[in-house]
Amino acid sequence: MIDYVKTVVYSKPLAHRLSEHPLWPKEETKGTRAGHLTIKRISQSGRIEIQGSLHYYRHNHNWNDFTYPELVETIDEITSKLEIEPQQAILANLEFGVNLPLYFDPSDFLKDLILYKDEPFRRITASSGQKGICMAATKNNYWIKIYEKEKHLRILRFEVHYRKMNALNQLEITTLADLIKIDKLALLGKLLLDCWSEVILIELLDLTLLSEPERKQYKRAINPREWLTLNRKQRCDLRRKYHVLIDKYTGGGRKKEFEQMLRDKWKQLMQKGTTGNVLTDSNYPKTGNILTDPKEPAKEHFDHLGKGVKCSQRTLCPITGWDISHQQKGSKFVSAKTVEQHPDLAEELGNGRRLHRRKHQDISEAERLAKRVRNKDSNPRNNRRRTVRRKYGNVAQLTLIPLEEIFSEETKNYLAYFKGRK
């Protein structure tokens, strides 16, 4: 289930305590993160980075199952040692997946992986040091890996690693506290299945059963180089035709079988035992939350600066995950003042930013970085509005058009947002 995490905690007392007597060793070599939790960085501002595998921390290895009750106990133990609430540990990286015992040798299965969305699978060296095959596909904010976890045990690992949390933050998965909520774990399971649905896998068919057009279509689809020559629309068209062909002659093939194994395993890992709810429906809905869990009573906790001021509610910036409870009431994003007061935050926001001259040269660097955060939220809406206006005219005039006939659900949401605006 949940494996590697990187968390950020803001607390000057905790930073002082860890610098004097660390609970876990500071990271010294690249390979230490898988063996135990490590303290990566402690800054004078009270920012502490802790990373490692929760699964490995619990079992001293991570080739077996890591269940929901074990996850809850592990997070409780870690936060108790740190003397913090789980809500204070903000997620900066998250890796989740499942280990699947197979009845067949996974080598051929892994070699038949072609494409994830528009990214070809490439063979890499597994971080665990195993000699088995490891295939990976990398996107901007995350990557997926499928590899032999334990070659002699025939265990196949499928995992997704988010190195930027924007997408998960939109699902309100921001802290360690969210990882012990059944509905959030169900969403992660849905993400896992969605990632697998975008994978192109070579399925073996009897060519003598195929018509000549079907045979040509099949040979195109199982040629990895063919996919690299196609644009997005052509890839979608070939993917659809290939899946129709596979469903017709194999009933879904190995991909559908593997999907069911993923679904069943995630359902099994999410079981809470005799005292809690169980994921009873193996068919995940396409949208919305999957399960609801009784709300826990609100807990008091110390503010992120560790000043000892108790607060009953905590506000996080949806883009950066930064605690902005101390800002003006009604604030949604980190302010220029917050950026200016925290060099670590300014450093994170400045990474990857173009250095050449830009607009708004008269504002400070902190104001520029705070504006950049706000733009990440507003730009998608504004870009969609410009696209709609370019195609259909002013948004205010679109009320006479049957929206359900020409717009997707996402576009209609944007139109509703801008309704009555110029």
Which residue in 193, 180, 189 sits closest to 276, CA to CA?
180
Round to whole Å and give the CA distance between 257 and 198: 15
Across 46-50, 105-109, 312-316, least confident range: 312-316
How many other C-beta atoms lie within 10 A of the C-beta of residue 124?
A: 14
How many other C-beta atoms lie within 10 A of the C-beta of residue 294?
A: 8
Round to whole Å and give the CA distance between 13 and 1: 32
Cα 81 from chain centroid (whole Å): 27
pLDDT at 57 over 70: yes
Higher pLDDT, 409 or 192: 192
pLDDT digits 0-9 by tens, 124-134: 876 555 567 88
Round to whole Å and give the CA distance between 120 and 118: 7
Q: What pLDDT does 128 receive?
A: 52
pLDDT digits 0-9 by tens, 381-416: 777 767 766 665 554 444 444 444 455 666 666 666
How many other C-beta atoms lie within 10 A of the C-beta of residue 81?
A: 11
pLDDT digits 0-9 by tens, 330-384: 888 888 888 888 877 777 777 655 544 455 566 788 888 888 888 888 887 777 7
Q: What pLDDT does 82 receive?
A: 87
Domain boundaries, the chain: 2-180, 207-251, 302-349+375-418
pLDDT digits 0-9 by tens, 298-314: 333 333 333 333 334 56
How many angstroms separate the first and last alpha carbons of the chain? 47
